[in-house]
Amino acid sequence: MMRATGCAGVMVGRACLGRPWLLAQARDALQGRQPGPDPPLAAAAAAAEDHCRRLARYWGSEALAVRQMRKFVPLYLAGFATAAPLRDALLKADSIAAWREALESTGYDPTELPSAESRRKPRLKGGGEPRLQRVRLPQGWLGLRDSDSVPEAAAEMEACEG
């Protein structure tokens, strides 16, 4: 895309939610290497568990981390046909030990790869169709693209509220 459009960069944003390996794939593509494949279900589930453990360390609360992960579990397991029982078990888990038990005892195919269609589905906040939004910039912003000066706060607020 960068070569075709001449853009200076790309933004991956929500595409990385539940797919942290996408950053390595993007790096490989930007460096002219063939990006690695998406990981199998077992690796995606392990990445979700690692995410949960890191949240628990960060917040100092396993219970809070497990609750917060409920919004990310469907993203990690999207596109895997056999993941429904695992997803359900992880969403009901109340501890990391319960996560571990679900990962070890739930019947899913750990070698399954995500479907090709799942890579093309939009990962939008709230789901649904993308919305077109009008871009609003502070007055004169485009004329200052090469300047290091910061626009006036009033102009930025007007653009944000307008």
The answer, as to whether pTM is greater than 0.75, is no
pLDDT at 67 over 80: yes
DSSP characters over 35-67: PPPPPPHHHHHHHHHHHHHHHHHHHT-HHHHHH
Distance CA 57, CA 29 (A): 32
pLDDT tens profile 81-128: 888 999 999 999 999 999 999 999 988 889 999 988 776 666 555 555
When comparing pLDDT for 66 and 133, which is higher?
66
What pLDDT is stored for residue 162 in this prediction?
Answer: 46
pLDDT tens profile 31-42: 889 998 999 999
